[in-house]
Structure 1
Amino acid sequence: MSITSEPIAENAADTSGKRRRRKRDKTIHTGESRLAFLLLAPTLIMLTVIVGYPIIKAIYQSFLTDPGLDSSGFFNEGNSWNGLANYKHWLLQQCPGAGGVTESCPTGNLGAQFWSSVGITIGFTVVTVLLETIIGMCFALMMHRAFKGRALVRVAILIPWAIPTAVIAKLWIVIFDPQGVLNNVLGTDFAWTSESGPARAAIVIADVWKTTPFIALLILAGLQGISNEIYESAKVDGANAWQRFWRITLPLVKPALAVAVIFRSLDVLRMYDLPWILTQGANGTTTMSILVVRQLNSGLNSASALSTITFIIIFAIALGLVRLFNANIVERGTR
C-alpha cells in the first residue's frame, strides 16, 4: 500500500499545483484586463461623446421632416416623424431621360443626383487607387535600391504628399487654366475643367500626383522588412527579376499594400476638397461628400439621411476590401 500511495500522492500534489497556478494566472489576467479597461475608459467615454452621439443624432434626424411648405401651401416647421421618406427620396427616385447626368435632373429629384454621385465617387476611387498603387510600387522599388543620392530622391518624392490639399488644388487650377502651364506646353487653349471627361481626368491627375507618395511610403516600409538573403537564394536557384518580384516581393509586401489600398480607398470615397476647389462639383464631378454639403443648405434632416447612406456604402466597401485582402483588423492572441 505504501508503494502505490506515493505516486498517487505525487499526482494529486501536481494536479493541485497546476490548479493553483491556473487560478493565479487567471487572477493576473483578470487584474490586467481591469487595469487596461480603466486606462482606456476615458478615451472610450470621449469617443462616445464626440463620435457616438453625433452619429446617433444624425440617424435620428434622418427620420424627421425638414422645414418647408406642406401640400396645402402652409409653412411647416419640420422635425416631425417622417419614417423612411428621406431615404426613399435618395434611393428610389429616378430622373427619366437624364442619362445619369446630375445637371439635367430636376432640383427636387434627389435620387438621380445621389446615384450619379455614387457612380462618380466609385469611378474616382477605382481609377485613382489603381494608378497610385502601380506608380507607388514603382517609386517604392526605386527608393528601396541603394544608390547615391537616395535620401534626396525620397524627400523629393514625398513633397507632394506633405503639401495641403487646398494648396495642391490651387496649383493645378493654374496648370489647367486655358492660359496655364499645360496649354503653354502643349500649344493649345483648351479649358480642361469645362467638360465632363477632361474635368474628371484633371481631378484624377491632381489626386494621383499628390497621394502616390503615401502609398509608395507604405510599400517601402514593407520592402525594408524583406531580407536580402531570400533574394540571394532565389538568384542561386535561377529565378529571374520578374519571378523574384512575383514570387517573393509581392506576397511579402502584401500586408503593407493592403493597408495602403484600404486607407486610400476610404480617403477617395470621402473626397471633397480637391474636386470642390477645382470644379465646384460641376461637369460631372459631384462626389458624395459634395452632395452632402450641398444638401445641408437645403435640409438638415434630409442631409442626415444622405450622410447615413453614404456611411453605410463606405463601410460596406471597406469591409469588402478587408475581406479581399484577408486583413486582420483585430489580432487574436493565443495562450
Structure 2
Amino acid sequence: MAIASPTASKGTPKGASARAPKPQRKNYGRVAGLIAPALIVLAVIIGYPIIRAIFLSFQGNRHLNPQTGLFEEGGFAGLENYLYWINNRCVSGTGQISTCPPGVIATDFWPAVKITLFFTVVTVLLETILGMLMALIMNGEYRGRGLVRAAVLIPWAIPTAVTAKLWQFMFAPDGIVNSLLGAQIAWTTDPFYARLAVIIADVWKTAPFMALLILAGLQMIPKDVYDAARVDGANRIQTFFRITLPLVRPALMVAVLFRTLDALRMYDLPVIMISSSSNSPTATISQLVVEDMRQGNFNSASALSTLIFLLIFVVAFILIRFLGADVSGRKAAK
C-alpha cells in the first residue's frame, strides 16, 4: 500500500523558508534627526538654567568692600550658601562665621520648609479625595453630564492670581465668609486661619485638575468588569474597593505625583492672599527664593533653588519607585 508523502500546509508558498522573516531594520538615523531639534531646544531651555543655578550656588554673594566702598563679587564659596540656609550660618565681610541674627532671611528657612510640607500633605490629600468623588460623579451616565463636567473644571481654568484675589475678598474682615459664619475671624493675620484660608483656596482651585486626571483613568475601565461584578452580587462599596480603585490606581498615582510636585513649589496663592514677607505664617520655600533675590543675593537664592530641585527630585523618585506612579504608561500598555 502506497503511503502519501507529506505536503506543504495550506497557504504556504512553495519553497518558502521555515524561518521567521527578519524584522525590518529601523531607520534610527532618520528618527534621531527628527527628534534632535526638539531635544536640543529642551536641553537649552531646561538644562541651562539648572546648570547655571548650580554653578551660582557655589559662588559668594556680592558684598561691600569696606576699604574701597564698592561692591565686589564673592568668588568661589564652596558650600557656604547651602550652610547659610541649612545651618543658619552667616559669614561677615571680614570672614567671621556666626549664627544669623533675627531678621536675616535664613532664619525663616526651616519654618518655611515645615509650612511647605504641611501645605503639600494636606492639600494633596484633600484634593485626591474630592477629585475622586468628582470623577465618579462625572463618569456616571445621566442627562446633562457634559454641563456638569464643564462646570466642575471652571475653578481650575481660572488664573491663580484671580483665584487668590477672589478668596482674599471673601476672607476679608467684612467679607462674605465672616458674614455667613456670623463671626469676626482674622483670616489674613491669625496664623491658623491664614493657613486654613490658603488650603481652602488651593483645594477649590486644584481639585478639578485631580478629577480630570482620575476621570481619564475611570473611562479606561471596561464596563464588562462592572457587569460581571454585578452578576456576582457585589455591592457598590465592594465594587469600588475591589475593582474601581485597583484599576484606576495608575492614573491616580500620576495625578498625585503631578499635584505633589506642583504643591512643593507653591508661591502665588499665599503671597497674594496673605503676605509676601518671608516671616509670614504662610511663607513657603519659593517665597524665600524670591525675597532673597529681591535683596540682591542671587547666589544664595540659587542655592535655595537647588535645594528645592533636590527635594522635588527625591519626592518624585519615591512616588515613582515605591508607590508605583506610572508616568511612562508602560504598565498600562502591558
**TM-score, normalising length from structure 2?**
0.85
Q: Distance in 1 between matches of 2:197 and 2:235?
A: 38
Gaps of 5+ in 1: 1-12, 96-103
**1:52-71 maps to which residues of 2 (within 5 A)?**
52-69=47-64
**1:227-246 maps to which residues of 2 (within 5 A)?**
227-246=222-241
Identity of counterpart residues, as a percentage? 51
Q: Which residue of 2 aligns with 1:315?
A: 313
Q: Distance in 1 between matches of 2:175 and 2:229?
A: 50
1:225 aligns with 2:217: no
After superposition, the Cα gap between the structure-2 partners of 1:109 and 1:207, relative to the gap in structure 1 and judged at 3 Å, is: closer
Contact 2:254–2:327 (8 Å) recurs in 1 = no
Q: Distance in 2 between matches of 1:118 and 1:73?
A: 38
Q: Distance in 2 between matches of 1:251 and 1:45?
A: 39
After superposition, the Cα gap between the structure-2 partners of 1:187 and 1:331, relative to the gap in structure 1 and judged at 3 Å, is: closer
Q: Which residue of 1 aligns with 2:151?
A: 156
Q: Which residue of 2 aligns with 1:289?
A: 286
Secondary structure of 2:184's partner? coil
Q: 1:269-323 CA distances to partner (integer Å, 9 max, x unpaired)? A: 1111111100124541111111110111220111111111110011111111112
Q: Distance in 2 between matches of 1:159 and 1:276?
A: 23
User: Shift in Å at residue 91 of structure 1?
Assistant: 1.2
Q: 1:170-217 CA distances to partner (integer Å, 9 max, x unpaired)? A: 100110000000111111222211111100000000000011111111
Q: Which residue of 1 aligns with 2:165?
A: 170
Q: How many residues in Structure 1 have an aligned counterpart in Structure 2?
A: 305
* Counterpart amino acid of residue 84 in structure 1: L
User: Shift in Å at residue 328 of structure 1?
Assistant: 3.8
Q: Distance in 1 between matches of 2:318 and 2:89?
A: 27
Larger helix share, 1 or 2 = 1
Contact 2:83–2:89 (8 Å) recurs in 1 = no
After superposition, the Cα gap between the structure-2 partners of 1:155 and 1:289, relative to the gap in structure 1 and judged at 3 Å, is: same
1:80 aligns with 2:68: no
Q: Distance in 1 between matches of 2:181 and 2:299?
A: 48
* Counterpart amino acid of residue 52 in structure 1: G
**1:107-256 maps to which residues of 2 (within 5 A)?**
107-108=103-104, 110=106, 112-256=107-251
* Counterpart amino acid of residue 107 in structure 1: G
After superposition, the Cα gap between the structure-2 partners of 1:168 and 1:234, relative to the gap in structure 1 and judged at 3 Å, is: same
Contact 1:266–1:314 (8 Å) recurs in 2 = yes
Q: 1:125-157 CA distances to partner (integer Å, 9 max, x unpaired)? A: 100010011011111111111122222211111
Q: Distance in 2 between matches of 1:199 and 1:80?
A: 41
After superposition, the Cα gap between the structure-2 partners of 1:79 and 1:57, relative to the gap in structure 1 and judged at 3 Å, is: farther
After superposition, the Cα gap between the structure-2 partners of 1:116 and 1:127, relative to the gap in structure 1 and judged at 3 Å, is: same
* Counterpart amino acid of residue 273 in structure 1: D
Q: 1:24-44 CA distances to partner (integer Å, 9 max, x unpaired)? A: 73xx22x2x221211111111
* Counterpart amino acid of residue 106 in structure 1: P
User: Shift in Å at residue 74 of structure 1?
Assistant: 5.7
User: Shift in Å at residue 80 of structure 1?
Assistant: 0.7
Q: Distance in 2 between matches of 1:123 and 1:50?
A: 31
